[in-house]
Amino acid sequence: MLPIEIKKGVYWVGGIDWDLRNFHGYLTQRGSSYNAYLITGEQNILIDNVKPHLFEQLITRIEKIIDPRKIDILIQNHVEMDHSGSLPKLLELNPKAMIITSPNGEKGLKLHYKKEWKFQVVQNNEQLTLNNRVFHFLHTPMVHWPDNMVTYLTDDRILFSNDAFGQHISSSERFDNEYPIDIVMEEAKKYYANIVFPYGEQVKKIIPVVEDINPDIIAPSHGIIWKKHIRAILKEYKKWSANETVEKAIIVYDTMWKSTELMAYAIMKGFENAKVPVEMFNLQVNHISDIMTSLLDSRYICVGSSTLNSNILPSVAAFLTYMKGLAPKNRHAFAFGSYGWGGQSIPIIEDELKKLKFDLFPSIKEQYIPSEETLDKITVDIQKLIVINKTKKC
Ligand code: FEO
């Protein structure tokens, strides 16, 4: 439970949530951390905090540096409770402390906690000199809530980016040169796909600002701190926010009696024959948040379900609902599935894909068990379709 000094007088004092496996529906196999940062001096300043159940971790780390009852300023980059959940206890210890936040941050915190705390609201691009250090506040609305801002400590060149550039990783290592970078990048991709994806337009506005200030350190509020690989993560954020896709297909399905699965594999062969990499996601064994990671840069999305009680299978409904909320754009897609007599699953899936304004290919629908000939035809048809469309951009 030690703090870590990241630059002189600037400490990581966050909480590590080793047991976290569900972050509002997102499977977090590696747990997470809620990174809080303490800046000491004439005034002691805490940037963000931790979920309530990790308050003791936060306090134990702060105690190694200062008396936790001597915090003067609480900079709140974001209202969501993973970063503000310890505010009530921190303000019980420090009733005179001032909260510095965005206008929407003040509104959100008042609505969350219903307390008469002291606020100082900062506008976009506003700078304050505290402790002889210049703090530059930049609003980043919708990355991830309307209240979000980032704080740049100008002389130390540290960008406290809150949710942006985060990853759900619990670890005793803090920096990107200490932890396997391929895992950090994969978790950053999963984080973007499941949290930031709907806000690509807002992210696009932030990237040039970050490039312009050229920080030495990007200190997010989840996971590993960026120091060595800042250029690499900015490059990925540019691609993701531009909605860039590659020639890759994902086939997402659930199946009652394996007929829809037979179709899924016939479709897979079609993509393979067309030399398009493909990933299979049986919803009985895959989590929707892992599927989103793959979907982030996939050009083709194929969704299959058997028909059950004039409807789709519940796992497919959950996937479609989750995907719709994350609002991917500009993909090719189609529905497929086996049915007994009604066949309603296909139009139901198609309707959902239409709502996302995907470019729809003809659906594939088979009654009961598809024959070998039918499966071969599916493969050939998909291969032809993909070869024709391969050069087309959505
Ligand atoms: Fe990590 Fe939007 O909170």
Q: How far is the CA of 105 from the centre of ligand 1 (A)?
A: 13
Active site residues: 24, 78, 80, 82, 144, 163, 191, 222
Q: Does residue 352 line the site of ligand 1, with CB under 6 A?
A: no
**Stretch 311-321: mean pLDDT:** 98
Residue 140 in this model has a pLDDT that exceeds 70: yes
Q: Report the distance separating Cα 43 and Cα 353, nearest Å.
A: 54
Residue 119 in this model has a pLDDT that exceeds 80: yes
Which helix (H) or strand (E) covers residue 359, if one does? strand 359-360
Residue 110 in this model has a pLDDT that exceeds 80: yes
Q: How far is the CA of 303 from the centre of ligand 1 (A)?
A: 30
Q: Report the distance separating Cα 99 and Cα 87, nearest Å.
A: 9
Nearest atom (ligand 1) to Cα of 145: 2
pLDDT at residue 390, as a whole number: 77
Q: Does residue 30 line the site of ligand 1, with CB under 6 A?
A: no
Q: Does residue 17 line the site of ligand 1, with CB under 6 A?
A: no
Q: Does residue 84 line the site of ligand 1, with CB under 6 A?
A: no
Residue 74 in this model has a pLDDT that exceeds 80: yes
**C-alpha closest to that of 299 among 330, 269, 266:** 330
Confidence of residue 393 (pLDDT cuts 50, 70, 90): low
Q: How far is the CA of 265 from the centre of ligand 1 (A)?
A: 38
pLDDT at residue 188, as a whole number: 98
Q: Report the distance separating Cα 49 and Cα 87, nearest Å.
A: 7
Residue 394 in this model has a pLDDT that exceeds 70: no
Atom 1 (ligand 1) nearest CA: 163
Higher pLDDT, 131 or 221: 221
**C-alpha closest to that of 300 among 340, 320, 328, 342:** 328
Q: How far is the CA of 84 from the centre of ligand 1 (A)?
A: 9
**Could you give the C-alpha distances from 335 to 110, 260, 316, in angstroms and in order?**
45, 11, 11
pLDDT at residue 144, as a whole number: 87
Q: What is the pLDDT of residues 231-263, one digit of tens each?
A: 999 999 999 999 999 999 999 999 999 999 999
Amino acid at 151: T
Q: Report the distance separating Cα 15 and Cα 293, nearest Å.
A: 25
**Stretch 325-333: mean pLDDT:** 96
Mean pLDDT of the chain: 96
Confidence of residue 352 (pLDDT cuts 50, 70, 90): very high
Q: Report the distance separating Cα 99 and Cα 91, nearest Å.
A: 10
pLDDT at residue 391, as a whole number: 62
Backbone angles phi, psi at 87, to 5 degrees: -55, -45
Backbone angles phi, psi at 227, to 5 degrees: -140, -55
Q: What is the pLDDT of residues 208-239, one digit of tens each?
A: 999 999 999 999 999 999 999 999 999 999 99
pLDDT at residue 26, as a whole number: 95
Q: Does residue 221 line the site of ligand 1, with CB under 6 A?
A: yes
**C-alpha closest to that of 356 among 243, 263, 259:** 243
Q: What is the pLDDT of residues 29-57, one digit of tens each?
A: 999 999 999 999 999 999 999 999 999 99
Residue 9 in this model has a pLDDT that exceeds 60: yes
pTM here?
Answer: 0.95
Nearest atom (ligand 1) to Cα of 144: 2
Higher pLDDT, 315 or 392: 315
